[in-house]
Chain A
Amino acid sequence: MTTVSFSLNGKQVSADVPDNTLLVNFIRETMSMTGTHVGCDTSQCGACVVHVECESVKSCTMLAAAAEGTSVTTIEGIAHDDGLHPMQQAFHENHGLQCGFCTPGMVMAAIELVKENPDPSETEIREGLEGNICRCTGYHNIVKSVQAGARMMGE
């Protein structure tokens, strides 16, 4: 067992977990925060993307212990008191989601993409989201959402 402590969505959390506990399981099971999803077992689908120290991480590929002392943000932690994060709002306005399962990872990946590249082209968005699979939307409206989210984040 290992004691793991870090900041989760701005709150300090700590728990004793088996050494091999993945970050995603720590978040979903130990912390009962189920917005982050698991869609595969090969780090391919991106449903589990969270931010560790403001960088996108597939949380199924990182041990919880490796997050010790860091700041972790999940989909539950990005909305502001006065409403949705601009990227969440952009997905809503542009119908960038259907079943919603890939959405948390997609939004988290999109936010980091825009932080790295505030004015991404369509091609840059498509290449930037290559690590996140969506089976519902055909990506057309996700690309539109990220373009709109980038504009809103820049305002």
Chain B
Amino acid sequence: MPEGSTKDGIGASLRRKEDKRFLTGSGRYTDDITRPGQLHVHFVRSVHAHANIKAIRTDAAEAAEGVVAIYTGEHVAADGIGGPICGWVVTNRDGSPTNEPPHPILANGTVRYVGDHVVAVIAETLEQAMNAAELVEIDYEVLAPVVDLANAASGAQLHENVPNNMYFDFELGDEAAATAALDSAATVVELEVRNNRLIPNAMEPRAALAEYDHIDDAYTLFTTSQNPHLTRLVIGAFMLNIPESKLRVVAPDVGGGFGSKIYVYPEEAVCTWASKKLRRPIRWTADRSESFLADAHGRDHINKIRMGLDKDNRITGLRVDTLANLGAYLGAFSVVTPTILHAPLLSGCYKIPAIYTNVKGMATTTARVDAYRGAGRPEATYLLERVMDTAARQVGMDPAEFRRMNFIPKDAFPYQTPVALQYDIGDYEPPLDKAMEMIDYKGFEARRAEAAGRGKYRGIGLSSYIEACGIAPSAVAGALGARVGLYESATVRVDPTGTVNVFTGAHSHGQGHDTTFAQIVADKLGIGVGSVEIIHGDSDRIPFGMGTYGSRSLAVGGAAIVKAVDKIVDKAKIIAAHLMEAADADVVFADGKFTVAGTDNEKGFGEIALAAYVPHNYPHDRLEPGLEETAFYDPLNFTYPSGTHIAEVEIDPSTGVVDLVDWACCDDFGNLINPMIVEGQVHGGIAQGVGQALLENAHYDETGQLITASYMDYCMPRADDLPNFKVDYTVTACTHNDLGVKGCGEAGAIASPPALINAVIDALAPLGVTDMSMPASPEKVWRAIQSAQAEAAE
């Protein structure tokens, strides 16, 4: 029988159920799985950014010890195997569709970035596959690389059907209104920012293990995926052309994703395809260098911003022109990230009467760029929060007060922005006030003076953000170009003994769903968390799922679980009414007990579960036996988390090193289910944002070689790069899901980069420095100080 305690339900910082297996080395990640008779595949990748393949000679490799098969793009084409698809497209300004080039899983005639997959070498052992790969000879005709985003349109054309290397030319907002607002503004603020390219770097490299069962003519693919059902759909229907029912996709424990494991990649499709050709299991695990080269990268925008203010310093208009680098091919969310997930966020938490934006998505000979933690929203927030500080400085206002006077007032909700979104609820001043109090904003000038006495420059920087997450209402997404629905499913199965299994289409790869979802169910059913098991990540066990990204697991997946639990309770009430010979309407369910109102007649949840499966005394005329319900939940709107983050830095002018000395943030995520897990998500998000702002940068040289392709060269945030974070919350509950939750996974990564760069600029502002690009590396900061001092001396 289930435990009766609910003290670990909604709102409790319950320690995680999944911890024990991870802490004892019992986690089961894809690379931990082996199959008898398995073969290993190693990919020969392009060493050129852009080249035609003239010839591939594999004779020597085929003769090498242990080699079983070698496949090239010709084999792929001969078998009619398709490539990864774009999951969301947009309409161009002129009404034409997005230009979608083909993306073969092994290059067919042309390679378009360093790391592009050319040959798959399959052997008995990984070492044999790698050794044989060395013997593959490829003759290339080298073509001009296209690396510089600003000049990509005039570079060598990458794809036949992508003229001017432009995948799309998107716009949103009212251009005439924005132009008029800027023309008549008392102050016009101009800024150009670069949102640096990042590499997601989940600590678990991507991996795949595919197995074919010739008796059932069916495949099983174990893979590092954030959404196994979409992987099944894409590989089944678009790549291998097999019935979805013949492909089982399992995403077991996954070691972080951050967006990079949403997509279907060529490697896992090659493993699946080859597993049937060779009738042997095929496995592949990326080494870290391959991850750097061939995982989807993130960000990489150039944004030109013009903001107009009236004579009272209220914002009247905003125009943003963006070039987005999408790399060599389009992935699942490549197009939606810089458009639909970016342009509608340009109002931020501010009342801006007129907004217009144009986004051009460009092809370059670099790894493809797709959604990475925050996906479009960090880019929008960065440019907006940078221009807010620039504007405040230009008109001589305190940046906090300039933000405050331009906030959408709390009585203006629901608030319709000029860029498509309608915010259901929010209140932006309380988190600003709280964060300022947490970091002692008022006392900052004294700290600046004290630091100056020690020869250090101290600065403080804010970022007040909003994000749209919990994606999304399917109908809205469809109208905007999505090719999938964005609901989530849940099945709740009550066992005869009253324990509960929850099958969710969301996927946990660090988010703690085993715990958070169990808390919700335990709370709603009045049973102990220990009686609830969460099952995810297996397309054969879960009805369907859209996976985890866009901070949607709780707001969409959690809401689906609540709907299924509600159905369970509704059915159980009828059973209880029958057993207690009462009218349905008189039965009340609370704390795990069904009671006839006004009496002490009661039945426990476990008793009802048993009755459902041993239906000797049962309302057979009204109900089927059993206690299992499925619900699909399609949200009515995005959710809109918001808040303020404040960074404080100290800069050593002799080295240019930025020391991040303090961080305070106050977020409004709506209701919290497990505050401990939420706080962990905030910490991790901030760390990735600090990485972007201070340390990380994916850099291609002019020939298209990725210079930052290892942890020796790509600077990841480490323990000694970061401070402790002060985290707090305000709550305005989401108005359109049953839990009142908004989502918390991306907020830190969205809010933090501009806060940090604003703090660096604030520290250097007394010297006359007004701009700083990401990452604010010691060299850049030192040079900015030197050049400011040289100018001052002139």
Contacts and interface: CB of A to CB of B under 8 A. Distances in A.
Interface of A: 18, 28, 32-42, 44-45, 47, 74-76, 79, 84, 88, 91-93, 95, 97-104, 107, 122-123, 125-127, 129-130, 132-143
Contacts, number: 174
Contacts of B21: 100
Interface in B1-58: 15-16, 18-29, 31-32, 34
Given A39-B204, A84-B23, A45 B711 contact: yes
A13 to B, nearest CB: 16
Contact of A95 (B16, B29, B254, B686): B16
A75 B585 CA distance: 55
Interface string B186-224: 000000000000000111110000000000000000000
A48 B229 CA distance: 31
Interface stretch (B77-85, B439-447, B551-559, B713-721): B713-721
Interface stretch (B64-72, B174-182, B398-406, B506-514): B506-514
Given A41-B287, A75-B25, A84-B23, A138 B722 contact: yes
B255 A100 contact: yes
A94 to B, nearest CB: 9
B684 A39 contact: no
Contact of A44 (B24, B204, B512, B710): B710
B385 interface: no
Interface of B: 15-16, 18-29, 31-32, 34, 127, 201-205, 253-256, 258, 287-289, 509-512, 676-677, 679-680, 683-688, 710-712, 716-720, 722, 724-725, 748
B680 A42 contact: no
26 contacts: A28-B32, A34-B28, A34-B29, A35-B24, A35-B27, A37-B29, A37-B203, A39-B204, A41-B710, A44-B710, A44-B712, A45-B203, A74-B25, A88-B24, A92-B15, A99-B255, A100-B18, A123-B720, A126-B720, A130-B720, A133-B711, A135-B202, A135-B688, A136-B684, A137-B680, A138-B748
B253 A143 contact: no
Contacts of B34: 32
A75 B724 contact: no
Given A37-B29, A95-B677, 9 more contacts: A39-B204, A39-B205, A42-B710, A92-B19, A95-B680, A107-B23, A132-B719, A137-B683, A140-B722
B722 A41 contact: no
Contacts of A76: 24-26
A99 B255 CA distance: 5
A76 B24 CA distance: 5
B202 to A, nearest CB: 6
B203 A143 contact: no
Given A44-B712, A74-B25, A98-B512, A92 B16 contact: yes
Contact of A75 (B18, B24, B288, B679): B24
B287 A127 contact: no
A140 B725 contact: yes
Contacts of B202: 99, 101, 135
A76 B685 CA distance: 30
B720 to A, nearest CB: 4
Nearest to A122: B724
A99 B720 CA distance: 21
A14 to B, nearest CB: 21
B718 to A, nearest CB: 5
Contacts of A142: 719
A79 B289 contact: no
A20 B750 CA distance: 45
A130 B27 contact: no
Contacts of A88: 23-24
Contacts of B255: 37, 99-102
B23 A97 contact: yes
Given A92-B20, A95-B16, A143-B724, A33 B25 contact: yes
Contact of B22 (A45, A97, A140): A97
Nearest to A34: B32
B684 A104 contact: no
Given A42-B712, A101-B29, A138 B687 contact: yes
Contacts of A123: 720
B39 to A, nearest CB: 15
A93 B256 CA distance: 21
A95 to B, nearest CB: 5
A104 B24 CA distance: 8
Contacts of A95: 15-16, 676-677, 679-680
Contacts of A92: 15-16, 19-20, 23
Given A76-B25, A100-B22, A139 B687 contact: yes
Contact of A79 (B24, B288, B677, B716): B24
B746 to A, nearest CB: 13
B447 to A, nearest CB: 20
B22 A138 contact: no
Contacts of A75: 23-25
Contacts of B680: 95, 98, 136-137, 141
Nearest to B29: A101
A104 B20 CA distance: 11
A28 B735 CA distance: 49
B16 A39 contact: no
Contacts of A107: 23
Nearest to B685: A138
Contact of A99 (B32, B256, B683, B711): B256
A139 B719 contact: yes
List the 6 closest A-B pairs by CB distance, nearest first: A35-B25, A100-B22, A101-B255, A138-B687, A99-B510, A44-B711
Nearest to B200: A135
A47 B711 CA distance: 13
Contacts of A137: 680, 683-684, 687
A35 B16 CA distance: 19
Nearest to B287: A41
A125 B719 contact: yes
B15 to A, nearest CB: 6
A129 B720 CA distance: 8
A92 B22 CA distance: 10
A61 B215 CA distance: 43
Contacts of B204: 37, 39, 99, 101
Given A42-B288, A135-B256, A91 B23 contact: yes
